[in-house]
Homo-oligomer: A and B are copies of this chain.
Amino acid sequence: MSPLPPALAAALPRQHLLTDPATVAPYRHDEAEWAPYGTPLAVARPSTTAEVAAIVSACADHRIPVVTRGAGTGLSGGANAVDGCVVLSTERMRDIVEIDPAERLAVVQPGVVNDDLRAAAAKEGLWYPPDPASAPWSTIGGNVATNAGGLCCVKYGVTRDYVLALEVVLADGQVVRLGRRTAKGVVGYDLAGLMVGSEGTLGVVTEVTVKLRPARTTAPRTVVGFFDSLPAAGDAIARVTAAGLQPAIFELVDRVCLQAVNDWKRAGLPTGAAALLLAQTDLPEPAAEYEAEQIHAAFLAAGASEAMLSTDPVEAEALFDARRLAYPALEQLGQAMLTEDVCLPRGRIAQMLARIEQIAAQRDVVIATVAHAGDGNLHPLMLTPHGDDAARVRTQAAFDDIVDAALDLGGTVTGEHGVGLLKRDGALRELGPTVVAMHRAVKAALDPHGILNPGKVIA
């Protein structure tokens, strides 16, 4: 182990600068199966912006790469270490600095867990909508880095739609504030927005100001539909959109997931169904009742084999278990799970689901799909027995096929997980050489020595 440069060693108390390989090991990668990762020089755990600035400044002087990391729940390898880097963990930056009900905003350090922000906002009658499935563990900083989505996005937007301002440590260690605290503002370029989704390649976010909404006060109504064919489910999604409906949640769970949940929990879900659609409306009553009835009617018109409405929160939760339990039920199978994240035009969802079924058959890979149906954001989950190299090759081929199919159908290779390492090739193809060159020019402008999360996104 090479010794740390003195300026880096002096940036933090010794106990927050980890170099022991065993201690460092858990910081080497996120949750992306198979994305490569290297061996960091050290893991830094700063608690203040000044400490982050000192670390980045020292790293800049010595051209040491800086890989910023939140909770490590990423699914694309964006937080994976590169050899000789400093992993900058925000785990100690967990202060909720301010919740201001008058301005409807919150200011937090990047290591604040999403659910903790939501709980603190709720105490003030406010709501932070972005709700990635990782909300109990993932951090706001990580959510900002990937522009995280979630269930509520279909009506309420993604992380970028809530970021008002950022404090950022630049590649040379300077600290800047980008964005604003006001409701509106157009002074200069949207550099705060540029940072959102840049996966730590343009700066290290040290404070996040987000807008909040008034808390919802009505109990949601839930509508559920089972469909015998994927085209019928796709037709139901299209009918809901065409009818001008705006469900607050609109999810799809496919046959493989339903079977896994049944097998694990004896849930008694219809085994013949090709897909389950779950929708919630949160309009004030009686508009919610009307919207729920219209969604129900759209499901039936599209040929749902079974469709039902619920206002009972307990019953609604039980229906949503099919969605919530899909991941853990699949995990019960004890296989490696590679998570896809393509996003399609809504009108192409049924086609894409059919392509995924074909790919699963052709490549002999088990693929289970959950989807933010209303957004066209599909998560095909590919299962591979551990230690089966041939299966792994087939899974990688299926992964590539899905990326190809998404691009072929006018979609994007990543809807909410980010490019990281897993989607680099797909991103290069999706964007094309001129737009890639724009990215590299912007990256070079803001990080001329390329020390910030090198090799990620397309930088």
Q: Which residues of B contact A315 (CB under 8 A)?
A: none
CB distance from A294 to the nearest CB of B (A): 12
Q: In the complex, which of the residues B244, B284, B285, B417 contacts A125, with contact meaning CB atoms closer than 8 Å? A: B244
Residue interface mask A400-419, B partner, CB < 8 A = 1: 00000000001111111111
Closest B residue to A287 using CB positions = B284
Residue interface mask A179-223, B partner, CB < 8 A = 1: 011111111111101101110001000000000011100000000
Query: Secondary structure at chain A's binding surface: helix, strand, loop or mixed?
Result: loop
Q: Once the chains are docked, how many angstroms separate the CA of A435 from the CA of B187? A: 11
Q: Which residues of B contact A177 (CB under 8 A)?
A: 435
Q: Which residues of B contact A427 (CB under 8 A)?
A: 187-188
- CB of A160 within 8 A of chain B? yes
Kindly name the residue among A285, A346, A347 whose own CB sees the greatest number of chain B CB atoms within 10 A: A346
Q: Is the CB of A419 within 8 A of B187?
A: yes
- CB of A1 within 8 A of chain B? no
| Contact A441 to B446, CB < 8 A, known contacts A187-B412, A412-B185 | yes
Q: Is the CB of A441 within 8 A of B435?
A: no
Q: Is the CB of A446 within 8 A of B442?
A: yes
Q: Which residues of B contact A246 (CB under 8 A)?
A: 213-214
Q: Once the chains are docked, how many angstroms separate the CA of A457 from the CA of B189? A: 9
Q: Is the CB of A190 within 8 A of B182?
A: no
- CB of A109 within 8 A of chain B? no
Q: How many A residues are at the interface, by size bracket?
A: 35 or more
Q: Which residues of B contact A345 (CB under 8 A)?
A: 102-103, 181-182
Q: Is the CB of A191 within 8 A of B410?
A: no
CB distance from A200 to the nearest CB of B (A): 12
- Contacting B at CB under 8 A, from A153-172, are 153-154, 157-158, 160-161, 170
Residue interface mask A335-371, B partner, CB < 8 A = 1: 0000000011111000000000000000000000000
Q: Is the CB of B191 within 8 A of A435?
A: yes
Q: Which residues of B contact A430 (CB under 8 A)?
A: 187
Q: Is the CB of B186 within 8 A of A197?
A: yes
Q: Is the CB of B184 within 8 A of A375?
A: yes
Q: Which residues of B contact A245 (CB under 8 A)?
A: 214
Q: Is the CB of A418 within 8 A of B458?
A: no
Q: Is the CB of B176 within 8 A of A435?
A: yes
- CB of A45 within 8 A of chain B? no
Q: Once the chains are docked, how many angstroms separate the CA of A219 from the CA of B200? A: 46
Q: Once the chains are docked, how many angstroms separate the CA of A435 from the CA of B158? A: 25
Q: Once the chains are docked, how many angstroms separate the CA of A184 from the CA of B343? A: 7
- CB of A444 within 8 A of chain B? yes
- CB of A88 within 8 A of chain B? no
- CB of A445 within 8 A of chain B? yes
Q: In the complex, which of the residues B103, B193, B374, B446 contacts A190, with contact meaning CB atoms closer than 8 Å? A: B193
Closest B residue to A285 using CB positions = B287
- CB of A104 within 8 A of chain B? yes
Q: Is the CB of A187 within 8 A of B442?
A: no
- CB of A147 within 8 A of chain B? yes
Q: Is the CB of A170 within 8 A of B438?
A: yes
Q: Once the chains are docked, how many angstroms separate the CA of A242 from the CA of B125? A: 9
Q: In the complex, which of the residues B174, B283, B375 contacts A183, with contact meaning CB atoms closer than 8 Å? A: B375
- CB of A431 within 8 A of chain B? yes
Q: Once the chains are docked, how many angstroms separate the CA of A277 from the CA of B285? A: 28
Q: Which residues of B contact A213 (CB under 8 A)?
A: 246
Q: Is the CB of B346 within 8 A of A103?
A: yes
Q: Is the CB of B347 within 8 A of A103?
A: yes
- CB of A423 within 8 A of chain B? yes
Q: In the complex, which of the residues B102, B146, B181 contacts A410, with contact meaning CB atoms closer than 8 Å? A: B181
Q: Is the CB of A416 within 8 A of B184?
A: yes
Chain A interface (Cβ within 8 Å of chain B)? 101-104, 125, 146-147, 149, 153-154, 157-158, 160-161, 170, 174, 176-178, 180-191, 193-194, 196-198, 202, 213-215, 238, 241-242, 244-246, 283-285, 287, 290, 343-347, 372, 374-377, 410-419, 423, 426-427, 430-432, 434-435, 438-439, 441-442, 444-446, 457-458
A-B contact list, 9 entries, CB within 8 Å? A103-B347, A104-B241, A178-B435, A186-B197, A186-B412, A191-B435, A193-B194, A194-B194, A213-B246
Q: A182-B343, A187-B430, A442-B442 are in contact. List 4 more A-B contacts (CB 8 A).
A: A102-B241, A103-B345, A181-B410, A183-B374
